[in-house]
Amino acid sequence: MTRYPRNMIGYGATPPDPKWPNGARIAVQFVLNYEEGGENCVLHDDAGSEAFLSEIVGAASWPGQRHWNMESIYEYGARAGFWRLHRLFTRSRIPVTVYGVATALARSPEQVAAMQAADWEIASHGLKWIDYKDYTAKAEAADMAEAIRLHTEVTGTPPRGWYTGRCSEHTVGLAAETGQFDYVSDAYDDDLPYWLRVGDHDQLIIPYTLDANDMRFATPQGFNAGDQFLSYLKDSFDTLYAEGVDGSAKMMSIGLHCRLIGRPGRVQALARFIDYIQGFEGVWCPRRIDIARHWHAHHPPAVSDRPNPSALDKQTFVKTFGGVFEHSPWIAERAFDLELGPAHDTAAGLHSALARMFRSANRAERLGVLTAHPDLAGKLAAAKRLTDESTAEQAGAGLDALTAEEHAAFTTLNQAYVGKHGFPFIIAVRDHSRAGILNAFRARLDNDTDTEFETACAQVERIAFLRLKDMV
């Protein structure tokens, strides 16, 4: 058995209506990353200097040394960039969420006081602005606990949101296990919040962004000038706003850094974008904690008494889905050993896994599935010996209430069809009326057997899908 944990389906083709306050068509959420004073630095007991997200593109860490220019660039964010952004957002009356590195916050008491006076949310951005990819889960959990403790000490309240950024495969699970956070944002996989089951806990995930993010001023293939950033933000907004007008509202996250967008040659792009969106109706600019509270209130975790198919043991899986392909449990047995995961926990997804096993079977095995199907309105139906599924399907098409003339027609057609092709006539009766079934029966009787074999197999798959829609 192989299970694939990544969720490649999400909300699928029909995302939920977020029901933003006052019928807003989009939620535009600004994040200000406060990392200055929490970056890699030998003064912080790190092995070397910082090398990430600065004006020195392609910088390398200096092991065991201070990098004066790098430190100075980060200091600009705290000394000048933060205040420029603080003035812009307070003047625009837009509250932001601060991703605050705990050690950076501890080294910036005046900035923290200004954040709180503006009623900005201060979420946790970890203990230090470092890379956790090589950390053990135990070591990362220890830093997470210390980040929460220090954050609470510095700000007076524990953080309700978490974003590591340079995270590991353990980060989201560790954050969820604390039970501390109303949301976690170490994900970039959706335009809406969603619930993630971690152990026995439902954790709200509010995805973040690396594209609508000023970090691309400091990366190759990024923004060279403010107008590029502005154009990208406007295009993103316009797309999501139009989707909201069409009844499918979304969330737009915008990532900012004091030392990057806080530069005078870039901040005007942000100011123009704010002016732009304030010219539209139905734009909600919340903090991330506001989105979390809204989602908790209006979209709580779904409660289901049906376990996901990919989580079932083999015996239960086969017992539950072994009859989807008529009297052919071997299909479910083989499907169970596939690489199942969240993508197969829907009717379409599970049908794909089962149908693959049917399609890859040899002709004799597939013929066995065809011959396992009953005649339409035949002797088994009269003797009430059909499966529950077949009984309901035939009754739904009115085949349990035929006139004497119709019954005779079905009997004659069944005999002729089986005599010619060697297997019963199969059609997804839910898709047709009684008259339509008879017309199809007469038309398909003239097909050659190879053509009819493939047609019957396709109908078997269709019947299986319709059954799964009732089950998953």
SS3 string, the chain, reads: CEECCCCCCCCCCCCCCCCCHHHCCEEEEEEEEECCCCECCHHHCCCECCCCCCCCCCCCCCECCCCHHHHHHHHHHHHHHHHHHHHHHHHHCCCCEEEECHHHHHCCHHHHHHHHHCCCEEEECCCCECCCCCCCHHHHHHHHHHHHHHHHHHHCCCCCEECCCCCCCCHHHHHHHHCCCCEECCCCCCCCCEEEEECCEEEEECCCCCCCEHHHHHCCCCCCCHHHHHHHHHHHHHHHHHHHHCCCCEEEEEEEECCCCCCHHHHHHHHHHHHHHCCCCCEECCCHHHHHHHHHHHCCCCCCCCCCHHHCCHHHHHHHHCCCCCCCHHHHHHHHCCEECHHHCCHHHHHHHHHHHHHHCCHHHHHHHHHHCCCCCCHHHHCCCCCHHHHHHHHHCCCCCCCHHHHHHHHHHHHHHHHHHCCCCCCCHHHCCHHHHHHHHHHHCCCCHHHHHHHHHHHHHHHHHHHHHHHC
Q: Which of 360, 357, 296 is nearest to 321 (CA)?
A: 357
β pairing state of 26-34 and 97-100: parallel
Q: Establish whether 125 is a catalytic residue.
A: no
Among 44, 373, 421, 432, the active-site one is 373
- The residues assigned a catalytic role are 373
